[in-house]
Chains A and B, each alone.
Chain A
Amino acid sequence: GAVVSQHPSWVICKSGTSVKIECRSLDFQATTMFWYRQFPKQSLMLMATSNEGSKATYEQGVEKDKFLINHASLTLSTLTVTSAHPEDSSFYICSAPLLDTQYFGPGTRLTVL
């Protein structure tokens, strides 16, 4: 089956620094990928839609200047959390569609100290 990977699987950073998270579709191409965020004991919330070759579409309430998304190729989307703060600590998951199915990455746990 289709596989989506994320890197890193976990990261700890200092407040004020930027962190980049990669999402790759390993055996298929995806012109669209999705980024979700999950706070402890809460469900997944869609943050943005990543579009290959064009700007990402952000959900209401998500700061596009803080969460930079780049979809430079058909197999890679990156999410950069800029000037990270402790409240950005969360579990970030990406997904990519293939035919009628959405395939999810294993997630990246971000902890901002």
Chain B
Amino acid sequence: KQEVTQIPAALSVPEGENLVLNCSFTDSAIYNLQWFRQDPGKGLTSLLLIQSSQREQTSGRLNASLDKSSGRSTLYIAASQPGDSATYLCAATSGTYKYIFGTGTRLKVLA
């Protein structure tokens, strides 16, 4: 059974810092891994999708990497801004479209 965990659970950084969010999964036979952002009381905003054949994806200040052999994915945020404050969720799917979500990292970027 796939289990997805995220470390740290919460993170507070000053504006401008580069930061890394970690996602670990127990079953390496994943199909996709996706990173989402969730603002308080809101739905999900998709950030980056990494297919199992890929090692990383980039969008603007965001870079996500995937290492299936070690069961890990990281989300790198460059030059963080207060507007980046949100909860970040990673989710893994094993090909049936059923996403198993991680526990989330609550990020706060201080101005």
Most A CB contacts (10 A, CB to CB) among B41, B44, B49, B91 go to B44
Within 8 A of B (CB), among A14-61: 32, 34, 36, 42-46, 49
B43: interface (CB < 8 Å): yes
A102–B99 touching, CB < 8 Å: yes
A95's nearest neighbour on chain B, judged by CB, is B99
Partner of B93, one of A91, A102, A107: A102
Partner of A34, one of B49, B89, B97: B97
Majority-rule SS of B interface residues: strand
A43 to B23, CA, bound (A): 13
Stretch in B12-20, B56-64, B68-76, B101-109 touching the partner? B101-109
B41's nearest neighbour on chain A, judged by CB, is A109
CB distance from A32 to the nearest CB of B (A): 6
Majority-rule SS of A interface residues: strand
A93–B101 touching, CB < 8 Å: no
Given contacts A100-B51, A102-B93, A107-B44, 10 further A-B contacts (CB under 8 A): A36-B101, A42-B103, A44-B44, A44-B89, A91-B41, A101-B49, A102-B97, A102-B99, A104-B44, A109-B41
Interface, chain B (partner A; CB < 8 A): 31-32, 34, 36, 41-44, 46, 49, 51, 89, 91, 93, 97-104
Interface, chain A (partner B; CB < 8 A): 32, 34, 36, 42-46, 49, 91, 93, 95, 97, 100-102, 104-107, 109
